[in-house]
Amino acid sequence: MHVIPIKTRIITPKDSLLDVLLEGMENAGLELRENDILGIAETPLGTTEGRVVKLSEVEVSPEATELAEKYELLPEVAELVLQEADEILGGIPHVVLTIKNNTLMANAGVDKSNVPPGYASLLPVDSRASAERIRNEVRDRLGINIGALVIDSRTQPLRLGNIGMALGVAGFRPVVDERGNTDLFGNVLRVTRRAIADNLASACTAVMGESDESIPAAIIRDAPVEFSDESFDSSEMWISPKECMYMAIFDQWRSN
């Protein structure tokens, strides 16, 4: 498998994301091929979908003021977190732990990095639809079938640093269920499912970076995936909190 970074100019709200990516590929002598997967960071995608907010235009509620004081956030950011989060679980200074779209994430995806000063980015409204749209645009314009992957970054409990996370997938199955298979010694696997889309998102994050690299996307070539004409969102990559060892223990702790 190969993961090939796509370097581009700075992406603005007026841009077509695919136009900018194709321009970057042409400048680097790259091209998309049949059954490639195009991994795209959520912030530049959201930028072209109108998901960048001017903080001075955010009306701060009393609840947001309280949240900002508790966790040392900008009040405007706290307000956006309240608007975007499905549930707020707690936090530490500068970060609120939330659930959004069945996924644990910091600040419900509200982020002030890789946007101009005084602005914040929000997650795409529908990452599944965005991935499907990009896939369809590539097929219509280039005549090839690819997979598309919308990527965010996240932290793992008790692990230092960010890894990749799939928000939306089109063109391949995001999870492989290994339950019922056997290991090298004939033991039956009872729990194991492989997070293919998340693993590919991490591979993209490794070459895309998180700061001023200006690499908003990557081509994944020869990926070990099952291609499909379907698209998927977090509901296909989700387990119940009762099945999650982190959340189950967290809920027990909260109830005591």
Question: DSSP per residue over 34-81, as a string?
Answer: TT-EEEEEHHHHHHHTT-EEEGGGPPPPHHHHHHHHHHT--HHHHHHH
Domain locations in the chain as residue ranges:
2-46+125-255, 52-122
List the one residue out of 114, 115, 81 whose CA is nearest residue 100: 81
Q: Rounded to an integer, what distance in angstroms lies between the CA atom of residue 134 and that of residue 17?
A: 9
* Sequence-ordered alpha helix ranges (H) in the chain: 17-28, 42-48, 62-71, 75-84, 127-142, 196-208, 245-255
Architecture (CATH level 2) of domain 2-46+125-255: 2-Layer Sandwich (3.30)
Q: 3-state SS of the chain: helix, strand, coil percent to 5?
A: 35, 25, 40
Cβ atoms of residues 247 and 241 within 8 Å: yes
Res 214: pLDDT: 94
Phi, psi (degrees; rounded to nearest 5) at 68: -65, -40
Phi, psi (degrees; rounded to nearest 5) at 101: 55, 45
Cβ atoms of residues 192 and 210 within 8 Å: no
Res 212: pLDDT: 87
The CATH homologous superfamily to which domain 52-122 belongs is: CofE-like domain (3.90.1660.10)
Per-residue confidence in pLDDT tens, the chain, 256 aa: 999 999 999 999 999 999 999 999 999 999 999 999 999 999 999 999 999 999 999 999 999 999 999 999 999 999 999 999 999 999 999 999 999 998 899 999 999 999 999 999 999 999 999 999 999 999 999 999 999 999 999 888 889 999 999 999 999 999 998 899 999 999 998 988 999 999 999 999 999 988 889 999 999 999 999 999 999 998 889 888 888 888 877 666 666 6
Q: Rounded to an integer, what distance in angstroms lies between the CA atom of residue 242 and that of residue 256?
A: 16
Number of CB atoms found within 10 A of residue 72's CB: 12
- Specify the DSSP element, H or E, that contains 221: strand 217-221
Tokens of 193: 């499912």
Write b or e for each residue in 9-44: b if 16 or more Cβ atoms lie within 10 A of its Cβ, otherwise e.
eebeeebebbebbbebbeeeebebeebbbbbbbbbb
Does the global pTM surpass 0.75? yes
Cβ atoms of residues 251 and 234 within 8 Å: no
Cβ atoms of residues 110 and 98 within 8 Å: no
